[in-house]
Structure 1
Amino acid sequence: MNSTDIEDQKSPGYGTKEDSVSSHSSSSGEQRSGEASFGPQLLAAGAATLGALALGAAIGWSSPASPQLAEPPLSLSSSDISLIGSIINIGALIGAVGGGIVINKIGRKATAIYVSPIFALGFLLVGFGNNVPMILAGRLLCGLGGGTTSVAAPVYVGEIATSNRRGLLGSGFQLMVVTGILLGYFVGAFVTWWWLSIISGFIPLMFMIAMMFVPESPVYLISKNDENGAKKALQWLRGAHYGIGTELEEIKHSIAEQNARSITFRDLFESSVLKPFLICVALMFFQQFSGINAALFNLNIIFSASGGDMDSNTQSCIVGIVQVAATVVSSVLVDRAGRKILLISSAFVMAVCLVALGVFFYFQENDPALAANLGWLPLVSLIIYIIFFSFGFGPLPWALMGELLPGHVKGLASSLVSGFNWGLAFIITLVFDMLVSAIQMYGVFWLFAGFTVLAGFFVLFLVPETKGKSLDEIQRLFS
């Protein structure tokens, strides 16, 4: 195709540029002219991460809904409520593993569009559920939608963003997750659990509509030999007057190398793949063993157990607001401070907060009078914990998954990494009550504190800095 063919063509399925693009700005050998526009990248990333908002709403649903489910008319047992809260992670595991295959078959954009109605159906089943099996089925579908999104959105954003914007935009996934969690806490404080489900069901539909108006990933389009579509998508993302030729050639070169070989599980054991793959797996392991999902799914239970004067719903909303604010700050810092320093500080400060929470519950068990004077400690500790989780181990494992994994195995590897994360989330959320029974609340928090200390040292010695590096430069770190 001639390099000037993009001048008068419009892109089906997303917004078009009416301005003609001069041939020198799109020729395959040109140098980049000026700076790529940020607005189109932000719009595309924002559309992709609406799925994360729906996922967050599904996660946040559990905290306000759990106490209501124990009351009439359902009067569910604690084991049923625990399963309803945690089964979303099983659906997410299935969605994550399957999503890695689907995004390479039909595309990142199409995957997001097709999974959205399933996501919405899950919320509706929960909302109209009058028995445990129906609610479980709905939560499972919500997890399926969320797990698929957790693969498709980070990969999409990593592929449409310029290297100097990738950290900022990559953090958007976690930002939207925590915003969705806050939405669940806030709305759940005023409405019944079934109304919360119905309201949340509109978010996946917004996700579907938004994705119809942004381009497919240029990387995916090149992988399907659609160079014309890739040019139009890349020009839309970078702005009408930005020269895309150099970047397009880099994508074509990378895809050509990938297409020279078929992808199997054996490829994961190559040194250049295994190292970044294991780093991503370890980061997801430490994210879950920081105790974040155990805390978020059980905030009301934790605050009720602390015996403070403030309403547990109010405390949950405060934590949610802090989490959103901290994630916004993190998204700005990630491309300035770098990934490693944020992860390391995140781990060690979280460890201190978890130790403090353990101390409070230890005294509550062994010295109630002293614990009564420390009623402020759980809320303060959880707020600081959430702030530093949001700075590091919240958004960055997902962002690094999109950066570290080599392109030729990204679909397979990212699905396995995401599936591993969701599998751990299911186990930890499900066994939280069992752990509390076995080693008490303070023992659980001290256990998580130990893992976060290990996480800090792991990042310090084994995780490379990717700040300001192109995807090709990052892959050369493992060559």
Structure 2
Amino acid sequence: MSSNRSTISRIPELSNSESHSTAPSVSKPQKSCKLSIILCIASTVAFLLLLAAVILFFSFSSASPSQALSGNSTTTTTTTTFAPPRHGQNETEQELVFVQIMFRHGARAPGHLKAEHEKHFPRGASQLTDRGFKNSFLMGRYLKKRYVDAGFLNARMNPKEMYWRSRQLDRCLSTAATVGAGMFETGKNKHVQVSIMSREKKDRLLASFGSRCREAHQRILEEKCSETDTNGSNDVYDDNYTYYTCLGRNHSLFNQIPLEDSDTFINLHRNDVPLPPLIEENIKTIHSEYLIVRNFQNGVGESADPRLVKIRFGPLADALLGNLEIAWDEHINGKQTVKFKAYSTQDWIVGGTLEAFGLLHHLQKVVGPEEEPGFNSMIVMELWKKKDKPFVKLLYKQEEVILEGHEMMDLTGIVPNCGKSECPLEKFTRCCDKYRIREKDRSRTFLNQSLTRRHVSMSEEKYDFIWNVFLNCWFVGFFVGIWLSPILNDKFGRKVGFVLGNVTAFLASVLQCLSIFSFCPELLIVSRFVTSICMAVTYQSCILFLQECSPTHLRGNFSFLSEISYSFMTMVGSFLGQDYILGGHVFWLCFFVVPFCLFFTLALFILPETPKFLLISRNAEEEAMKAVKFYHGKQIDGKRVLEDIRKESQCESEESSSTWRKTKELFTEGHLRMALILSVSALQNTIGLWALLLSSTFFLENANVESEVAQWSTTAMSLAYVSGTVTGGIIIEKVGRRTLLLSFTFLNNISLLAFVFFAKIRLLIDPMKYGCLASLIIYGYTYGTGVGPISWFISSELVPQKHRSIAQSVGYAINTLMVVVSTFTVLPLYSVIGSYAFVILYSIPSFISMLILFCYLPETKGREIHEIVNELRSK
């Protein structure tokens, strides 16, 4: 879920408490002024880090960069016969901690039976045969010897230490039940049945993908094979022959027999059913040609396509790796209950999993190009502890029949990132970053652990509900905070609003750590909601503080510090969130910011209130003079500064007004209404950043950019963003707000249109796809240089002090609503019309806002607020 400042990502700058001079004097700040500025800038660091932790804990694109996947491993495939050590073994030796297996169902009848074949399959089409039951039971006996007889699993079958899940197909359910019986049935322990979990609908793990993934799958196949037309089709496999011809295959055999019947012929042959001579003589050809089409559809084998593998098998790979991480975490914390997980499924899912783990290509080289997971083939992942360190073994059973002394293939050394038969857990779980769908993996792990401790099972619906509540409570809280801000800032002062927001944020950060430590998702949601409220208050207080403390000739430079610190700390947060830093230790990632929050919150108490609030709102001239001396130094002409402030106060009525009345005046007073329109127009240009930044990998992969390159796009955009803010901070007082905002907004839009152009032209010239990446980088730079920073503080320079806070709130509230609409619209719209979605959602509204700004926005550089307000009055 992406959002802009007014929702999620703006929070870090809310704490930018740099204090600066208010005086219009051109004299340089003295030492005390510099010290004050340093203290103010320092106070922002804690909450920038806080937000980075909050966002990264459940980040949408927060996945670590993919590790290099090598297909040229020199490690040879070995076999293994070692038995798991029994409980009570010396801790310095290896101990089996957790096992998960995935197997294909046993031998089955064809899916479509002709009348002459029904006698061979009395149970009906697609059902397990006698051979399928027998070999599944033998596989269970093999697992019994390996894990039950060795003492790893309770011989009496304890359901709480196991989890069995099956695809919702009869043959998969029957296989799972038979394997379980083989593991636990004994002379004394008869008629036992393992508990098998399955779902008929919305099974996203062991079944077909959801509608959105199906549409993406169809688009990719249509892109690769333009003759394909899957519109209105319920199955991407409906038109096998079209794919076959698209691949340039034209074997004459399929002029005599239908390609669609290949699966039936293969199953009949495997079950030793007599076939016509033509079929019998060419069964290997039928098998190989059919496998080519199916591999193309799944994006595996010789037709490997990372996009298809991610769509089809990414969630399952993520679940398998997540199981290992959860098991180890529970083990070291003494909370482990589930020790064994089993998944019963189909050949294409087993094959896709092998592809995701970088193993299918190796098996096809070793076993043969026609290798596919046969009946009762099985993947085994074992998590071991050796000298208190976790490592993983990945084993594979290729054969259908298990004989005495059977040995599995040890493929651990072939797994990318491993290179040896004992792969450290940390390296193993990074093997498949290019395929893992990890937008919510840390949250899923946390929720899984939390509910497991309460003996509550996690369903997809339950997870989605909690996840959506967690994400969307931010919008509600931030919107509440927007309207709370003017009440605090106008009634109690900018400092009180700033301090109160920071104190609350500190408490929320502590609450967040407690929620993780105590495995309480409800507490985490509460802490996020509280944080969103206080961040809305703190951000607006920060802008008001910077604007009202800084000298006129440096007001733009100091206002830019907010954006510079925010963009930089976003990069710091991204760095801390990497798996090899703190990304794998969620509690410490969140706790990292707590001491900083406390220290810099306390630092805010030494800062005086802003001179403008003291003089205009409280009529406290003496205190205002002290504030000017504090921020500008003792040598500044304080009387001159206060005189300019009084001129600003003359731009508005001296009688006090309620928040409601000031809101009404924004729409009824001409100059205030114009200021609001200009503010909203400027903020319109900021809406696209976070959708593009956090979803850049998705957009680039849709433009056929390699996953390894696309996954670094967010980092590249962040670097460009930081560089842009530094550039803008240097030139803002030389170029001016109006010139900088309009010119870089124009360039920002051109870069967006360039993305659309390159996304379309790459269909004709594939290397042009890299223009999409260049466009996004330029977009980040131009946004940081002028678009983002100026848009967020320009409203404070267009209205007098009395209406400044409420003008901010109304502008930010409208912007928040637009962000919500854009955020929930961009991906669905992009799925329908592609990159043209950017034109509709971002470019066209932005060009309209540019026209308004060009016609009516005054230059505010080096000018007092009363001069700017009077100019707006004259318009």
Question: TM-score interval w.r.t. the shorter chain?
Answer: 0.7 to 0.9
Instruction: After TM superposition, give the deviation of residue 102 of structure 1 in Å.
Output: 0.5
Matching of residue 67 in structure 1 with residue 438 in structure 2: yes
Q: 2:736 aligns with which of 338, 347, 351?
A: 338
The CA distance in 1 between the partners of 2:697 and 2:594, in whole Å, is 23
Whether the aligned pair in 2 keeps the contact of 1:323 and 1:387 (CA below 8 Å) is: yes
Matching of residue 188 in structure 1 with residue 577 in structure 2: yes
Matches within 5 A, 1:338-417: 338-362=736-760, 367=763, 370-371=765-766, 373-417=767-811
Alpha carbons of 1:301 and 1:56: their partners in 2 closer, same or farther (altered >3 Å)?
Answer: farther
The CA distance in 1 between the partners of 2:796 and 2:499, in whole Å, is 20
Matching of residue 275 in structure 1 with residue 674 in structure 2: yes
Whether the aligned pair in 2 keeps the contact of 1:92 and 1:147 (CA below 8 Å) is: yes
Whether the aligned pair in 2 keeps the contact of 1:45 and 1:172 (CA below 8 Å) is: no
Question: What corresponds to 1:146 in structure 2?
Answer: 535
Name the amino acid aligned to 1:94. V
Whether the aligned pair in 1 keeps the contact of 2:25 and 2:551 (CA below 8 Å) is: no
Q: 1:169 aligns with which of 555, 558, 579?
A: 558
Question: RMSD of the TM alignment (CA)?
Answer: 3.2
Deviates more, 1:183-192 or 1:43-52: 43-52
Question: What corresponds to 2:718 in structure 1?
Answer: 320
Name the amino acid aligned to 2:733. D
Deviates more, 1:444-453 or 1:71-80: 71-80
Matching of residue 210 in structure 1 with residue 603 in structure 2: yes
The CA distance in 2 between the partners of 1:395 and 1:78, in whole Å, is 35
Spell out, residue by residue over 1:226-249, the C-alpha distance to the aligned partner (whole angstroms, 9 max, x if none).
Answer: 322211111011111112111113
The CA distance in 1 between the partners of 2:638 and 2:561, in whole Å, is 25
Please list every run of 5 or more consecutive structure 2 residues that lacks an aligned counterpart in the other structure: 1-16, 18-23, 64-436, 449-459
Deviates more, 1:143-152 or 1:56-65: 56-65
Name the amino acid aligned to 2:38. L
Deviates more, 1:423-432 or 1:396-405: 423-432
The CA distance in 2 between the partners of 1:194 and 1:471, in whole Å, is 46
Deviates more, 1:302-311 or 1:214-223: 302-311
Instruction: After TM superposition, give the deviation of residue 309 of structure 1 in Å.
Output: 4.9
The CA distance in 1 between the partners of 2:464 and 2:746, in whole Å, is 33
Spell out, residue by residue over 1:39-87, the C-alpha distance to the aligned partner (whole angstroms, 9 max, x if none).
Answer: 2563365256447725762556623169252465347767865764554
Alpha carbons of 1:53 and 1:362: their partners in 2 closer, same or farther (altered >3 Å)?
Answer: same
Alpha carbons of 1:257 and 1:327: their partners in 2 closer, same or farther (altered >3 Å)?
Answer: closer
Name the amino acid aligned to 1:384. I
Question: What corresponds to 1:220 in structure 2?
Answer: 613
Name the amino acid aligned to 1:310. E
The CA distance in 1 between the partners of 2:467 and 2:852, in whole Å, is 35
Alpha carbons of 1:363 and 1:198: their partners in 2 closer, same or farther (altered >3 Å)?
Answer: farther
TM-score normalized with structure 1 length: 0.82
Alpha carbons of 1:49 and 1:425: their partners in 2 closer, same or farther (altered >3 Å)?
Answer: farther
Name the amino acid aligned to 2:837. V
SS in 2 for 1:293: helix
Name the amino acid aligned to 1:295. L
Whether the aligned pair in 2 keeps the contact of 1:350 and 1:389 (CA below 8 Å) is: yes
Alpha carbons of 1:424 and 1:118: their partners in 2 closer, same or farther (altered >3 Å)?
Answer: farther
Alpha carbons of 1:108 and 1:92: their partners in 2 closer, same or farther (altered >3 Å)?
Answer: same
Whether the aligned pair in 1 keeps the contact of 2:610 and 2:627 (CA below 8 Å) is: yes
The CA distance in 1 between the partners of 2:47 and 2:822, in whole Å, is 21
Instruction: After TM superposition, give the deviation of residue 136 of structure 1 in Å.
Output: 3.7
Deviates more, 1:153-162 or 1:209-218: 209-218
SS in 1 for 2:686: helix
Name the amino acid aligned to 1:102. L
The CA distance in 1 between the partners of 2:471 and 2:562, in whole Å, is 22
Whether the aligned pair in 1 keeps the contact of 2:649 and 2:800 (CA below 8 Å) is: no
Count of residue pairs the alignment pairs up: 443
Larger Rg belongs to:
2
Instruction: After TM superposition, give the deviation of residue 135 of structure 1 in Å.
Output: 4.2
Alpha carbons of 1:255 and 1:43: their partners in 2 closer, same or farther (altered >3 Å)?
Answer: farther
SS in 2 for 1:164: helix
Alpha carbons of 1:245 and 1:301: their partners in 2 closer, same or farther (altered >3 Å)?
Answer: same
Instruction: After TM superposition, give the deviation of residue 96 of structure 1 in Å.
Output: 2.0
Name the amino acid aligned to 2:503. P
Alpha carbons of 1:412 and 1:68: their partners in 2 closer, same or farther (altered >3 Å)?
Answer: closer
The CA distance in 1 between the partners of 2:487 and 2:477, in whole Å, is 16
The CA distance in 2 between the partners of 1:34 and 1:358, in whole Å, is 49
Deviates more, 1:336-345 or 1:37-46: 37-46
SS in 1 for 2:62: helix
The CA distance in 2 between the partners of 1:331 and 1:178, in whole Å, is 12
SS in 2 for 1:465: coil
Name the amino acid aligned to 1:240. K
The CA distance in 1 between the partners of 2:568 and 2:561, in whole Å, is 10
Matching of residue 293 in structure 1 with residue 690 in structure 2: yes
Whether the aligned pair in 2 keeps the contact of 1:218 and 1:230 (CA below 8 Å) is: yes
Instruction: After TM superposition, give the deviation of residue 335 of structure 1 in Å.
Output: 0.8
Question: What corresponds to 2:816 in structure 1?
Answer: 422
Whether the aligned pair in 1 keeps the contact of 2:701 and 2:707 (CA below 8 Å) is: no
Instruction: After TM superposition, give the deviation of residue 333 of structure 1 in Å.
Output: 1.0
Matching of residue 471 in structure 1 with residue 865 in structure 2: yes
Instruction: After TM superposition, give the deviation of residue 319 of structure 1 in Å.
Output: 2.0
Alpha carbons of 1:45 and 1:393: their partners in 2 closer, same or farther (altered >3 Å)?
Answer: farther
The CA distance in 1 between the partners of 2:813 and 2:438, in whole Å, is 29
Matches within 5 A, 1:88-103: 88-103=474-489
Name the amino acid aligned to 1:298. S
Question: What corresponds to 1:244 in structure 2?
Answer: 638
TM-score normalized with structure 2 length: 0.47
Whether the aligned pair in 1 keeps the contact of 2:721 and 2:780 (CA below 8 Å) is: yes
Whether the aligned pair in 2 keeps the contact of 1:90 and 1:426 (CA below 8 Å) is: no
Whether the aligned pair in 2 keeps the contact of 1:53 and 1:179 (CA below 8 Å) is: no
Alpha carbons of 1:204 and 1:99: their partners in 2 closer, same or farther (altered >3 Å)?
Answer: farther
The CA distance in 1 between the partners of 2:831 and 2:578, in whole Å, is 28
The CA distance in 1 between the partners of 2:866 and 2:691, in whole Å, is 37
Q: If each structure's strand is expressed as a fraction of its own residues, which one has the higher value?
A: 2
Alpha carbons of 1:471 and 1:54: their partners in 2 closer, same or farther (altered >3 Å)?
Answer: farther
Instruction: After TM superposition, give the deviation of residue 174 of structure 1 in Å.
Output: 1.7
Identity, in percent, stands at 21
Where relative contact order (Cα < 8 A, 6+ residues apart) is larger, the structure is 1
SS in 1 for 2:685: helix
SS in 1 for 2:552: coil
Name the amino acid aligned to 1:183. V
Please list every run of 5 or more consecutive structure 1 residues that lacks an aligned counterpart in the other structure: 1-13, 15-30
